[in-house]
Structure 1
Amino acid sequence: MSSEIGANIRRERDRLRWSQARLAREVCRAAGIAGEPVGRQEVSRWETGKRTPREWLPFLAAALGVTVDTLSTPQKPAVPPLPTLADFLPEEDPLSPLESRTGRRVGIGTVDELQQRVHGLRLADDVLAGGDLIRPALRDLRRVVKLYRESTHTSDVGWQLLRQIGELAQIAGWIASDAGQHEEAERIYRLGISAARQAEDHTLAGNLAGSLAYQMSNTGREAEGLILAQAAFRDSQAEAPPKARALYLDRVAWAHTKAGGTENGQQAVRALGEAGQALSEDSEGTESPAYLYWVDAGELRVMESRVYTELHRPLRAVPLLREVLSGYDATHTREMALYLSWLAVALADANEPEEAAAVAERVIFLVTDTPSARVAERVRVILGRLQNYADVPEVAALLAEHPAA
């Protein structure tokens, strides 16, 4: 605490452009004490945390013209505003090639380098949150759009560049959504859909549309999310490999779940079954896009457990979540926290508040200082659900310790 107070004293002194000696004199004046019982060296000890001001704190606050709380409360570091896609792209149609191209000629080697960069960003998203990645993701997206518009290239390379714009937009949109920038994510997804359609890559367009539908379903636009998720599956399934169809159907299942109602619940369970059937058709000889590397039976079980949790069927959800979490990669902290959050809610639904509180505590521990809006929202959901058990000692202790979590 003394180091935090010291940093605050230094900040306020710098704001006034005072020397340490000047502050020492002003503190004595504020205390109404003649002479200099507080000198420059004492102020230095306070600022470096070697000594705590204690009884001098009110006089320090008065001298600096701030409250005692301002000096004693840890200050959050200033965070620059998150960039938006508009900061990185031209105002006109961003996918319209310039009539007079002054850039260098690019070939398939450049496309290969971009593919590696995009995949590296996907892998980074496995272990980092959206708030950490949105700046490099948008810089990369701007760079690829600029390259497409300004360089000279063959038609085939142009199509490949459009695909890379689409793939990069998919991961950048996901990152922006995780950072809580939902309007920005939608703009990015729509840019990607346009690029994928121009490249005639219907599988990629379906993936982007499904990602946007997923965001809509999670941000109060359930009806739109359901319509878009169904359209993404319907328009893309003919050319999509099994993994892609399974993913589209997973999103349809979630969209039905979020839409609510008995019929939608039944449709959600039916879509889960169809997703499993689609994935079972995947084999070693089946080629899938690199961006589907994470789609497997485990991920389908995660969605299945989430659907059953949302439908308040904890007897189905809890065993599935325990199975998934038992073998999950602990380095994927955000996903681990998200899956645990669903387990906490399912346990609360199963009338196991003590265990739900223990899981919630683990979620909060895992995501401390993680800049993910998804995780923050899930923590709020858990604590809200546990309010029904506020008289249970373990829950009461959790709510008291994390009132603003």
Structure 2
Amino acid sequence: MAPETFPQMLKRHRTSRRWSQQRFAEALCEASGRSTVTRQEVYRWETGRRVPKFWLPHIATVLGVAREELEDAIAAAAAPSPPTLDDILPGKPPVADLSPAGRRIGKTAVNRLSARVHALRLADDVLAGHDLIDPAFRELEAAVVLLADSTYSESVGNGLRVAVGELAQIAGWIASDAGRHSQAERTYRLGLSAAREAGDATLAGQLAGSLAYQWSNIGREFDGAALAEAALEEAGPTAPPRARALFWDRIAWAHTKTGDARSAMRALGEASDALSDHGEEDDPAWLYWVDAGELQVMEARAYTELRRPLRAVPLLNDVLSRYDATHTREMALYLSWLAVAYADANEPEQAADIARQVLELSADLGSDRTDERTKVVRASLEPFRDIPEVREALGAA
């Protein structure tokens, strides 16, 4: 008989207590003193989609099972397969999928290209830069060839330029996440040129703002602040409310990185005001992720960076309590700010607890952003190295 796998064991023990997945999640939260386990996470464990590591001792305590027994069951289970780009972005190679080069193309080709661009954005939600960079740039190269070598009407041409601009933005973002900052900058500039040629000022602002965000994070803080302001100006007053909120958010971060707390707080207020104007506008697809929760994250990040942890901690805990755990990179990044905020609040045990989760999520993730943040987290814990929990977390690092 095949050994019992971890998902089978977990479900057996849970159902023997007549607990729902929600009740089990609540029991884990009570046992750990944290509120980040959801019913959805229990579902992922029981279907083999994710394997808990940090939560394993708490699961053992709640279920009254030896931790070793759970570890043996995990070893018996097949490792969950992470999503691949082919799962998210199926189909033929971009040029073949759209139209042979040199032929006249119409709106259908633009719609197909736009769909592939959005699929790449969704892939970036769950895959890191090193996993996506090669396919992203193959897509971009194919789209540029299509734009250069095909014939089309003026409106179709503008639609292609917009698609190339949007593809350049997500490819640049992926390159930046992979640590290829020069490649990302060249790509953002390419996209900015395409967006301007198409007359899409909002997209031009998005590309300029993306580059500003990169500059702010790689030591060009004052250049980043100037470019973030220019991006908002480029987009103009007719940009959709969610786009203006995003641009103000980047301005807030840029000023945070320069240490200008007053300008950062003003920009956060402007971002919130802009988002409050959002209604039933026909927004660009790339704004799908901009909501109040994302603004809350940026506010918490700003407070953490400005060494105001008592404001940052409740905001981050609130966001993380309802964040999609399949977005591993973002979860690791947001937890990293929470760990630093706890350290700044002189709560080293809690900081170490969160740091272990950051390290677990970031391991072999393939993201330069998370690699850099783990360094910051470790540095924030160093002053507390004499505390056992901190020493253990640093040892794991």
Shorter-chain-normalised TM-score: which range? 0.7 to 0.9
2:126 counterpart of 1:118: no
2:327 counterpart of 1:328: no
- The match for 1:346 is 341
- The match for 1:387 is 382
- The match for 2:355 is 360
Deviations 1:255-288 (A, max 9, x none): 000012xxx11110010011000000001x2221
Deviation at 1:238, TM superposition (A): 1.6
Indicate conservation of the 8 Å contact 1:137/1:172, yes or no.
yes
Instruction: Give me the whole-angstrom Cα distance separating, in 2, the residues matched to 1:401 and 1:233.
Output: 43
Deviations 1:109-155 (A, max 9, x none): 00000011000000000000000000110000000000000001111
Deviations 1:41-83 (A, max 9, x none): xxxxxxxxxxxxxxxxxxxxxxxxxxxxxxxxxxxxxxxxxxx
2:271 counterpart of 1:272: no
Kindly provide the amino acid, as one letter, of the partner of residue 231 in structure 2.
A
- The match for 1:19 is none
Indicate conservation of the 8 Å contact 1:114/1:164, yes or no.
yes
Deviations 1:211-235 (A, max 9, x none): 0000000000001101100000122
Deviation at 1:102, TM superposition (A): 6.7
- The match for 2:254 is 255
Deviations 1:148-200 (A, max 9, x none): 00001111111110000000001000000000101110000000000000001
2:134 counterpart of 1:135: yes
Instruction: Give me the whole-angstrom Cα distance separating, in 2, the residues matched to 1:286 and 1:102.
Output: 35
Instruction: Give me the whole-angstrom Cα distance separating, in 2, the residues matched to 1:336 and 1:163.
Output: 30
Q: How many residues align?
A: 298
Deviation at 1:201, TM superposition (A): 0.2
Kindly provide the amino acid, as one letter, of the partner of residue 175 in structure 1.
I
Equivalences for 1:26-37 in 2 at 5 Å?
A: none
Instruction: Give me the whole-angstrom Cα distance separating, in 1, the residues matched to 2:154 and 2:274.
Output: 34
Kindly provide the amino acid, as one letter, of the partner of residue 200 in structure 1.
G
359-368 or 205-214: which moved more? 359-368
Instruction: Give me the whole-angstrom Cα distance separating, in 2, the residues matched to 1:392 and 1:352.
Output: 11
**Runs of 4+ in structure 1 displaced over 3 angstroms?**
none
Instruction: Give me the whole-angstrom Cα distance separating, in 1, the residues matched to 2:124 and 2:373.
Output: 18
Instruction: Give me the whole-angstrom Cα distance separating, in 2, the residues matched to 1:214 and 1:246.
Output: 14
Deviation at 1:396, TM superposition (A): 1.3
- The match for 2:68 is none
- The match for 1:397 is 392
Structure 2: unaligned runs, 5 residues or longer: 1-99
Indicate conservation of the 8 Å contact 1:121/1:171, yes or no.
yes
- The match for 1:373 is 368
Deviation at 1:293, TM superposition (A): 0.2
Instruction: Give me the whole-angstrom Cα distance separating, in 2, the residues matched to 1:315 and 1:189.
Output: 36
Kindly provide the amino acid, as one letter, of the partner of residue 302 in structure 1.
V
Instruction: Give me the whole-angstrom Cα distance separating, in 2, the residues matched to 1:399 and 1:339.
Output: 19
Instruction: Give me the whole-angstrom Cα distance separating, in 2, the residues matched to 1:387 and 1:351.
Output: 12
**Length-normalised TM-score, structure 1:** 0.73
**Length-normalised TM-score, structure 2:** 0.74
- The match for 2:52 is none
Instruction: Give me the whole-angstrom Cα distance separating, in 2, the residues matched to 1:234 and 1:316.
Output: 30
Indicate conservation of the 8 Å contact 1:202/1:239, yes or no.
no
Indicate conservation of the 8 Å contact 1:318/1:347, yes or no.
yes
Indicate conservation of the 8 Å contact 2:336/2:354, yes or no.
yes
Kindly provide the amino acid, as one letter, of the partner of residue 304 in structure 2.
T
- The match for 2:163 is 164
Aligned residue for 1:184, secondary structure, equals: helix
- The match for 2:243 is 244
Instruction: Give me the whole-angstrom Cα distance separating, in 1, the residues matched to 2:222 and 2:396.
Output: 37
Aligned residue for 2:298, secondary structure, equals: helix
Deviations 1:304-325 (A, max 9, x none): 0000000100111000000000
Aligned residue for 1:220, secondary structure, equals: coil
Match of 1:319 among 314, 317, 320: 314
Q: Percent identity?
A: 62
Indicate conservation of the 8 Å contact 1:250/1:275, yes or no.
yes
Instruction: Give me the whole-angstrom Cα distance separating, in 1, the residues matched to 2:101 and 2:254.
Output: 45
Instruction: Give me the whole-angstrom Cα distance separating, in 2, the residues matched to 1:364 and 1:397.
Output: 12
- The match for 1:208 is 207
Kindly provide the amino acid, as one letter, of the partner of residue 157 in structure 1.
V
